Every structure is written in C-alpha cells, then in structure tokens.
C-alpha cells in the first residue's frame, strides 16, 4: 500500500512532466472510490504542468494555461500505481485513466479502486493543503509539541501515528518500522511517552521515511512498467511482516499482534 515514501518517489519520478502540455485525457472507467468527474478531467487538455508535488499521501500537479490555474490530485488508495508508457500501448487490465503528453502517457492502474483523482481550483487546493496535519519534517513538529498534543490521551502510540492528526503520511508499514527504530512499544498509551521518547520517535520517523524514499528512488527511478514498481515493496524492513523471525537488533523473536483492527509487528526485547 503506498505510504508517504512511495508517493514521494512517484512525485519525484514525475518531475519530468513539468513544462509539458496535457494533449489528451482518456478515461476507461470512472468508478474509483469517488467517481471521476470526466468533464473536469478532460478540461486539463491544453494546460501545462508547472509543478508536481505531494501532500501526505496525495500526489498533485499544478496546471496553467486556458483559464484559471487548477490542481490535479491523485490518491493511490490501497493498490494504485502510476506509470509512464507509450501513448499507443494497449490498456492493461485494471488501468482506468491516461493523461497523454506529447511523447508518452501517464497511466493510472488500480485493481482495488480505493484510490481517487480530482481536479480543483486554487482556493480549494490551498484550503485542503493547509488544513492537513504537518508533514513529518515540518519544523512545528518537535518533542515538546508532541508531548503537549498527546497529553492525557489513552489511545496507543501506533494508533496516533496512523491517525494522521499529528503528522500526515504514515501507514501501517512505517508506523511499525518507526516504533521499532525508536525502541517504543506500539501498545503504549500515547499520553505516557516522555520527552526523551518523543525525541526518539521523531528522529526515527524522519530517518525511516528518508531511508525508504532513498531506496524507492533507487529502485523505481524509471518506472516505465508495472513490474518496475514492485521495487516499492523491496525496501529493507526491520520488523514489518517478520513475525517469528529473529530481531535484527537483539536476535529475539519478532511478534505479531492485532491492534485496532490492524496487524502490528514488534520486538518485545527492543521496544519498551
């Protein structure tokens, strides 16, 4: 499932779109998590991409030309992928949408269709972007700020990371990895973490995400095929999916538990 590092990798890979005009939009099926507004999507034709970015797990393009500036937003959901291919290539099974550029198409593939795409004006875009919780690297995110925000809360620290209200972009894989790197047990009440533990969580969060982005960047630099994007899931994971295997740090057994409807992997020897 694409989390922040995967979407960041896609955003970096799509920097090649900057300066290019959209020359066509083709929609194969509209029923994603919310239906594709086909007319608005086709309204991108004739505009050029001037910027490609990411906010949380959402990829966005800023487009100009032919009226007011607009933003395309793409959420990849559970199983969505974007890749670049020749305009004349046949449609893949589960491929729903293509944005055509002069030399190639950007293709949206999403077998489970939990993703969504839309086109919004600048006001709606800026409102949406500023309402979201900070990015993990935002300077407002500090141990003291986390301590204050979490004070008195009884939910688990893992649930807190997943909720997207403190910082955006962290899903199940990286929540497990961050808490392992920080040495904090995932079931701990979030309000019980000390200032020193928040310092470790924040440092671990930034390091784990940066490492994943760097790995994603090397494995999917040129994601011209569906196969190439499998590289996303080859990032070195320390605990996620490793139940019963030895902990890479202490040699103890990595455990798996159900927590808030999701599976958590952790090492009781390293995480307190």
Nearest to 100 by CA among 112, 118, 88, 117: 88
- CB nearer Zn ion, residue 140 or residue 272: 272
CA distance readout (Å), 217 to 170, 208, 221, 228, 245: 18, 14, 5, 12, 28
CA distance 166 to 64: 33
- CB nearer Zn ion, residue 59 or residue 267: 267
Among 249, 255, 256, 262, which residue interacts with Zn ion (rule: CB under 5 A)? 249
58 near Zn ion, judged by CB under 5 A: no
At 128, is the secondary structure helix, strand, or coil? helix
- CB nearer Zn ion, residue 221 or residue 245: 245
Which positions from 194 to 233 touch Zn ion by CB under 5 A, shown as an x/- string?
----------------------------------------
Asked if 262 is an active-site residue, the reply is yes
CA distance 107 to 85: 7
DSSP 151: T
Asked if 3 is an active-site residue, the reply is yes
Binding segment for Zn ion among 2-10, 71-79, 100-108, 242-250 (CB under 5 A)? 242-250
170 near Zn ion, judged by CB under 5 A: no
Among 247, 264, 265, 266, which residue interacts with Zn ion (rule: CB under 5 A)? 247
Tally Cβ neighbours within 10 Å of residue 174. 25
For the annotated catalytic residues, the residue numbers are 2-3, 57, 262
């Amino acid at each position: 499932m694409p989390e922040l590092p995967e979407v960041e990798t896609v955003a970096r890979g799509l920097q090649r779109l900057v300066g290019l005009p959209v020359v066509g939009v083709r929609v194969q099926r509209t029923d994603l998590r919310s239906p594709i507004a086909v007319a608005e999507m086709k309204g991108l034709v004739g505009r050029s991409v001037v910027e490609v970015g990411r906010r949380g797990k959402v990829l966005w393009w800023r487009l100009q030309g032919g009226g007011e500036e607009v933003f395309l937003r793409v959420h990849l959901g559970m199983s969505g992928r974007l890749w670049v291919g020749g305009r004349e290539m046949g449609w893949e099974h589960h491929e729903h949408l293509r944005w055509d550029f002069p030399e190639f198409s950007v293709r949206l593939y999403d077998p489970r269709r939990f993703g969504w795409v839309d086109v919004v004006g600048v006001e709606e875009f800026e409102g949406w972007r500023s309402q979201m919780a900070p990015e993990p690297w935002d300077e407002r995110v500090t141990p003291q700020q986390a301590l204050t925000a979490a004070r008195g809360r009884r939910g688990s620290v893992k649930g807190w990371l997943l909720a997207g209200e403190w910082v955006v972009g962290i899903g199940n894989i990286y929540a497990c990895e961050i808490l392992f790197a920080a040495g904090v047990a995932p079931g701990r009440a979030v309000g019980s973490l000390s200032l020193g533990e928040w310092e470790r969580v924040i440092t671990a969060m930034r390091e784990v995400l940066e490492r994943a982005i760097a790995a994603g960047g090397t494995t999917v630099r040129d994601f011209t095929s569906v196969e190439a994007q499998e590289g996303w899931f080859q990032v070195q994971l320390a605990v996620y999916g490793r139940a019963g295997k030895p902990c890479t740090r202490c040699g103890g057994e990595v455990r798996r538990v159900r927590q808030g409807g999701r599976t958590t992997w952790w090492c009781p020897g390293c995480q307190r």
